Amino acid sequence: MQQKNFIKNLFFLLFLNLLIKPFWILVIEPYVQYKVGNQYYGEYFTLFNFSFLFAIFLDFGLVNFNNRNIAQNTHLLSKHFSNLITLKLAMAFLYIFVTMFIGWAIGFNLRYLKLLFVLTINQFFISMVLYLRSNLLGLHLFKVDSIISVLDRLIMIGLIGLLFFQILPFELNILSFVYAQVTAYALTAIVAFFAVLKQTEHFNFSWNWKFNLLILKKSTPYAILILLMVFYNRLDAVMLERLLPYPEGAIQSGIYAKAFRFLDAANMIAYLFSVQLLPIFARLIEEKKSVEDITKLAFSLLIVPALITSVSCFFYNKELVALINKGTTDAAEVFGILMFCFTAISTTYIFGTLLTANGNLKQLNIMAISGILINVLLNLIFIPKFKAYGSAWASVITQFFTAIVQVWMAKKIFHFKINYKLLRSLLLFLLGIIIINYLSLHLSSKWMINFSIMILFSILWAFMTQLLPLQSTLRFLKIRK
């Protein structure tokens, strides 16, 4: 039953997100970067990633803790909701102060600091939306959460459209772009708040020192994990801008942003798996039921598009980058390497989510610290010589290291048996799609036709290798309420 619910809710979530978010990431954002140029967009991308580094003070692990806690104890929503909202508001002031102070301390000029301040407000609303969604996910209100998950992008698309057609009396630049984001996240947070409020028995703003300290103590391991993972996921752009002289650092960060945009769009799929899986894993673990079948199912469903995407982006890097970035291919090599991260990140979203649901935060934190050390060391070595291309390689190595460690930990903790059949299918599938991609390049002079044929044959190959068992897939596709 858990597998059936997972498939139904996942397809609904994927449908909504694939309808809205790729348009934002692959159409709206490239257009904005084209309008403002690599340098100014690179500055924004650097500050955006910098604002993420200290978002731990906004959340402190409350989202993951709350998702797992509410999934296992739904009756606690009314008791915790009022206090946690107030706590998050207090944490927002701390986050803004810390981020702005550190930005000033490392030498950001006044123009940078003004933009950074707006981005910290942006991050507050993002954090609030994620917290509110964690309550909906914990209650297994997946359809409501799915709608809210795309609402911010839908509003932003509308606002950028009004700027594009000059309906609003503002010029489309980085600042107006960021203001559109803040507005969209704020409106989404309001909608999400009332969606959660509807599920509670009562609500009032209150401050309880004893309760807040207890919650912060319980969420601390989650907070440390999030902080560490954000650092090795978001540090690349900041190090590019800081390690290289101005304006080369900002330009290279802008080039990296073009490549990262595709990875961000792809990661959306993997992230959707994780938000669905966390409460399901948590409840199965609480009820002392096996998680092996649903873990295998989720991995099989996600690794197929992950490998197809990673390999095809390597072979078709120039064509795909040129398609999105109005013919420019300056990010093609970076893109071709960086997209291999998607396979590693997809694996992490399955096995890392399982370990998080089980409360194995100490092991995950040790893994994340190792990831940061590897990422920083590799960036220090690669960036001065290879610039954005070197940073892409640093990301790939780091992501695969942490993914492999998490798979090993999950096997050890949950006593999973080595599935040799799955491993054989995985290796055959990988070898096959590499050959399919290589041969597809020479089919015709029109790359889009070649690319489409490659995708079709890659999907068929997934069934032929039984990485996606045909009978099981058809059975799940026929699920009805």
State pLDDT tens for residues 347-375: 999 999 999 889 898 899 899 999 999 99
pLDDT above 90: residue 266: no
Q: How far apart are the first and last CA of the chain?
A: 11
pLDDT above 70: residue 328: yes
Question: With contact defined as beta carbons under 8 Å apart, do 176 and 163 qualify?
Answer: yes
**pLDDT tens-digit map of 182-239:** 999 999 999 999 998 888 876 777 777 787 787 778 777 777 777 777 777 778 888 9
Closest CA to 321 of 447, 470, 154: 447
> Which pLDDT does position 67 carry in this prediction?
62
Domain spans in the chain, listed from the N-terminal domain onward: 2-417, 420-481
State percent of the chain over pLDDT 90: 41
Cβ count within 10 A of residue 82: 18
State percent of the chain over pLDDT 70: 91
> Which pLDDT does position 224 carry in this prediction?
78
CA atoms within 13 A on the CB side of 43: 19
User: Quick one: average pLDDT of 235-251?
Assistant: 88
Across the chain, mean pLDDT equals: 85
Question: With contact defined as beta carbons under 8 Å apart, do 236 and 53 qualify?
Answer: no
Identify the band that residue 165 occupies on the pLDDT scale cut at 50, 70 and 90: confident
* 306/312 Cα distance (integer angstroms): 10
Amino acid at 3: Q
> Which pLDDT does position 146 carry in this prediction?
81
Please tell me whether the peptide bond between 279 and the residue prior to it is cis, using omega within 30 degrees of 0.
no
Instruction: Among 170-184, 214-228, 290-304, name the one with the lowest average pLDDT.
Output: 214-228
* 156/181 Cα distance (integer angstroms): 6
Closest CA to 389 of 343, 336, 340, 341: 336
Q: List all residues 6 or more positions away from 323 whose beta carbon is below 8 Å from its beta carbon.
A: none
pTM: 0.74
Phi, psi (rounded to 5 degrees) for 214: -65, -45
Identify the band that residue 479 occupies on the pLDDT scale cut at 50, 70 and 90: very low
**pLDDT tens-digit map of 391-423:** 999 999 999 999 999 999 999 999 998 889 999
Phi, psi (rounded to 5 degrees) for 285: -65, -40
> Which pLDDT does position 480 carry in this prediction?
35
Could you please report the per-residue DSSP string of 120-166?
Answer: HHHHHHHHHHHHHHHHHHHTT-HHHHHHHHHHHHHHHHHHHHHHHTT
> Which pLDDT does position 272 carry in this prediction?
75
Question: With contact defined as beta carbons under 8 Å apart, do 355 and 409 qualify?
Answer: yes
242: buried, middle or exposed (CB in 10 Å: 19+, 13-18, 0-12)?
Answer: middle
